[in-house]
Amino acid sequence: MRRVWLLLAIGLAIAIDRGPLSPQAVTGTEKLADYQWLLHSPERLELSGAADSYLMRRYESSSEGIPSPGRESPSRPEISFSSVKRVNDPSKDFPDATTQSEPSLAVFGSHIVVSFNDSAESTFGDNFMGFSLSHDGGKTFTDKGPIQGPDGGSAFGDPSVAVDRQGIFYIASLAADARGNSGIGVARSTDFGETLEPMILASNNLDLRNFQDKELLAIDNTDSPYSGALYLTWTEFFFTGGTRILFARSTDGGRTFSTPVPLSQWGRGVQNSVPVVGPHGELYVVWRQSSEHPLQNKIIFRRSTDGGESFDPRVEIASTTLIGVLRDCNGRRMVLQGDMRVNIGPMAAVDHNSGAIYVVYSGDPDYNAETGANGPDMSDVFLVTSDDQGQTWSSPVRVNDDTTHRDQWFPAVAVAPNGTVGVMFYDRRLDPKNGQIDVFLAMSSDGGQTFKNRRISRHSFSPPTLKPNFDPLVASCYMGDYNWITADEKNFYVAWGDNRDRINSLGETRPDPNVFVAIEPVPSLSDNRPRASIAVSASPNPVTSPHTTEFRVTGNEVVSIQLQIFDLAGRRVFHSGEIPELTYRWHLDRDDGKTVADGVYLYRVLATTAAGEKILSELKKIVARR
């Protein structure tokens, strides 16, 4: 019977696309935008916690319990650990508003910018976001206070931070203009986070009756023709019911964005989109959506090889069972012990050497969808991988290596330049009662086939009182919707919401959730040798049918190769599969068995070493003639 009421809450996805609707004009004489309908919609269970908190404050909260300016909580000494730092300043909190959670961060040299949901900023309007920065590689952080919304409006959460190759930082967020119209905002900093330029609305020409939610941002930092492009995806909630994923891009440094286009079908349970960029400017987007079975979600993938001008068809890359049990938290929601609302993800990252795509998500590992039987383990972390630009995907690999039945959830993934894959997640394996929470980092040096787990949090912590939320400005059952990880040549940078601290406020001790960052060294490759390299030659080139061309690979300890042929638009024409040889003879055939047309093509080889290392050659041209 576990979670049976989800049948009523979710329903089945409807397989139609809804195109962009005509925007609703706003004039100075119109009323403020009204999104109360979403608080009474079945779609409320899909809202991000930041959006739910915003709507709760706007339509459901009274002024009682909202602190007045000037009441500050006492400051406390900085955390003394060398590699784990609290990034926000608790002395800027108010007695009733002390929650910081759901971080995102980006790194450029010694400069780190972290943004997070911050209930203390809601004491002055509807802002719900703060940010901190470091100019010394994370040794110290400065809390820079609130992020202002666009045109006198508000920025109210779901932060996403990215940085381009020039060191310009961008912060995306949920936003509303001065009249309360829902949108997606983007602000940028050209001085490593010291100041932010005015936030602009990136969501244009949309029906203002609909609500925009859960955005994430990616930047093309490759040498591709689309270098410097900003890619933004998010979820649109229709006032008539249902959701879809939207996409917009900027080619002028975030000053303007294109008119949004839909990536997903309209339906129920469509949420949590993530854009990432491949080594040659490929754009990949993943998200989750409900499936035919109400307790399961699909992970969906789309690819663009032309900078977001067009996208290949949607592909289902994984299926997973929802984690948690149903509870009444501003609607029926999935929660784990402690009344924490949870989602399965996903999150994604790309290896810019091999081109491998990694997608992580949570799932119930022992639920049987056919029989409804369920075992004692409610939530694990899984990873799927593609080595061919998303054409094919691996079976799921379990990332957490514990032998308990305790919870692991909210994974995030990053890939270091040497190919090491890092996955961070919340973990309860150390508590026999499955209550206390730690943060673990799992690392893989074999392309995500196996992982070594280690604890990086220095203190276990419990969920605060969430139902109702101890913080009157935060939605019930909400303790963040995600955490973050990124990497450079030296380190993994892990950010999470943490409840270890408590504060004396108005004569009582109460929770003080803060954001912490851990900096963990990237391990060298397991054999401690320099990263392998390969050389690839093709002869003859040009090649004329019915003749063939031989591809030859040279490289230390290479044990197998995969040949990939693409047309000039980036579409895959041929894939050899894995060959346990260092040569391959191509017969000018395509994947469908036909002969390629006359023209210029691109080729590359994905090689695997005896140590399991994946090496991707550079793209080169080959001319085919018939």
pLDDT in tens, 34-66: 999 999 898 898 999 999 999 988 887 643 333
Write down the pLDDT at residue 235: 99
Q: What is the Cα–Cα distance from 130 to 471, expressed in whole angstroms?
A: 17
Does residue 155 sit within a domain?
yes
Amino acid at 369: A
Q: Cβ-count burial of 594 within 10 angstroms (0-12 exposed, 13-18 middle, 19+ buried)?
A: exposed
pLDDT in tens, 76-85: 333 333 479 9
pLDDT in tens, 338-374: 999 999 999 999 999 999 999 999 999 988 877 778 8
Q: Cβ-count burial of 157 within 10 angstroms (0-12 exposed, 13-18 middle, 19+ buried)?
A: buried
Mean pLDDT of 12-25: 38
Angle at 367 between CA 362 and CA 372, to 5 degrees: 140
Number of domains within the chain: 2
Does residue 520 sit within a domain?
no
Q: Kindly state whether residues 156 and 289 are assigned to the same domain.
A: yes
Write down the pLDDT at residue 454: 95
Write down the pLDDT at residue 2: 41
Q: Kindly state whether residues 453 and 538 are assigned to the same domain.
A: no
Is residue 26 predicted with pLDDT exceeding 50? no
Q: Kindly state whether residues 499 and 538 are assigned to the same domain.
A: no
Does residue 7 sit within a domain?
no
Q: Kindly state whether residues 55 and 123 are assigned to the same domain.
A: yes
Q: What is the CB neighbour count within 10 angstroms for residue 419? A: 23
Indicate the pLDDT class of residue 4, thresholds 50, 70 and 90: very low
CATH number of the domain within which 604 lies: 2.60.40.4070
Asked if 133 and 114 count as a contact pair (C-beta separation under 8 A), the reply is: yes
Q: Cβ-count burial of 40 within 10 angstroms (0-12 exposed, 13-18 middle, 19+ buried)?
A: exposed
57: tokens are: 């404050």
Indicate the pLDDT class of residue 294, thresholds 50, 70 and 90: confident
Comparison of pLDDT for 196 and 94, the residue scoring more? 196
Does residue 30 sit within a domain?
no
CATH number of the domain within which 386 lies: 2.120.10.10
Q: Kindly state whether residues 498 and 579 are assigned to the same domain.
A: no
Assess whether the previous peptide bond of 540 is cis (omega < 30° from 0).
Answer: yes
Could you tell me the pTM of the whole model? 0.83
Q: What is the Cα–Cα distance from 161 to 202, expressed in whole angstroms?
A: 15
Q: Kindly state whether residues 322 and 262 are assigned to the same domain.
A: yes
312: tokens are: 């290949």
Is residue 19 predicted with pLDDT exceeding 70? no
Does residue 31 sit within a domain?
no
What is the DSSP-derived secondary structure letter of residue 53? H
Q: Kindly state whether residues 296 and 428 are assigned to the same domain.
A: yes
Q: Kindly state whether residues 452 and 316 are assigned to the same domain.
A: yes
Q: What is the Cα–Cα distance from 364 to 374, expressed in whole angstroms?
A: 9
Is residue 7 predicted with pLDDT exceeding 90? no
Indicate the pLDDT class of residue 524, thresholds 50, 70 and 90: confident
Which residue's structure tokens are 């309209």? 266
Does residue 322 sit within a domain?
yes
Size of the chain in residues: 626
Does residue 18 sit within a domain?
no
Q: Provide the residue range defining the domain that includes 601.
A: 534-625
Phi-psi region of 137 (alpha: psi -120 to 50; beta: other; left: phi over 0): left
Does residue 167 sit within a domain?
yes
